[in-house]
Structure 1
Amino acid sequence: MPDERLTDLSSDEPPAEFSAPQKALWWLQKGGLRLGPEWERAHMICQEAEGEKAHDWVHALCHLIEGDLGNAAYWFRRAQQPSGATDPKEVWEQIAASYG
């Protein structure tokens, strides 16, 4: 079960105590798992710590949402996570559950 605050989108910003990957997940959820300003914010967060598995996993999700499956597969490998999923909602839920 994911941290309930990941789906509480009533605020304009994610909780300050969230880790950077949690903030990126929150932004992706806030943007409806679609491209847009929230996606841009999440992607920037992920790029700030490339090479850290938690960031790389959310980075893979960003590129899955973008529709760039090759780039998504690269980041899934970097995060040491399976890359077969193509449903962003399913991947978001898997990542969110890791913060349960």
Structure 2
Amino acid sequence: MDLAEFKTVADPQALNLALQALWHDARGDWNRAHTLAQQADSAAGDWVHAYLHRKEGDIGNAGYWYTRAGQPAVGASVSLDDEWAAIATALLA
């Protein structure tokens, strides 16, 4: 599945929890996305968790989750949309 296909998925249940979290975030349900990212208990879930806290504006907490995910913290010069797409693309690969 590529990013274009992912964006049109009607029901995310067949996806892993990290991708489900991104799917819900794209539809404006930050709380559901956050819950799923926490449940993922994986580096992928930690990466999505970091992104969600960055989106929320909690940069300190985001930094913790980027570190747990083994990913570099993303700076303000990267838009949230671009980061979402980069994470989704990486997790779909």
Structure 2 unpaired stretches of 5+:
none
Task: List, as ranges, runs of 4+ consecutive aligned residues in structure 1 with deviation greater than 3 Å.
Answer: none
CA contact (8 A) 1:57 1:76 kept: yes
User: Residues 2 and 67 from structure 1, CA distance in 2 versus in 1: closer, same or farther, beyond 3 angstroms?
Assistant: farther
**Counterpart residue type for residue 44 of structure 2:** A
How far apart are the structure 2 equivalents of 1:60 and 1:2?
Answer: 22
- Runs (5+) with no aligned partner, structure 1: 32-37
Q: Is the 8 A contact 2:54 2:62 kept in 1?
A: yes
Larger RCO, structures 1/2 (Cα 8 Å, 6+ apart): 1
> Could you tell me how far apart the structure 2 residues matched to 1:19 and 1:5 are?
15
1:6 aligns with 2:6: yes
Question: Structure 1: how far apart are the matches of 2:70 and 2:40?
Answer: 16
Partner of 1:78: 68
Once the two structures are TM-superposed, the CA of residue 6 in structure 1 deviates from its matched residue by 2.6
Q: Which has the higher helix share?
A: 2
Count the aligned residue pairs: 90
Structure 2 vs 1, CA of residues 85 and 6 (structure 1 numbering), >3 Å: closer, same or farther? farther
Superposition pairs for residues 1-100 of structure 1, below 5 Å? 2-8=2-8, 11=10, 14-31=11-28, 38-50=29-41, 52-86=42-76, 87-98=79-90, 99-100=92-93
Root mean square deviation, CA, Å: 1.9
Identity across the alignment (%): 38
Question: How far does residue 46 in structure 1 lie from its aligned partner after superposition?
Answer: 1.2
Q: Counterparts of 2:75 and 2:25 in 1: how far apart (Å)? A: 17
The two structures have a TM-score, normalised by structure 1, of 0.79
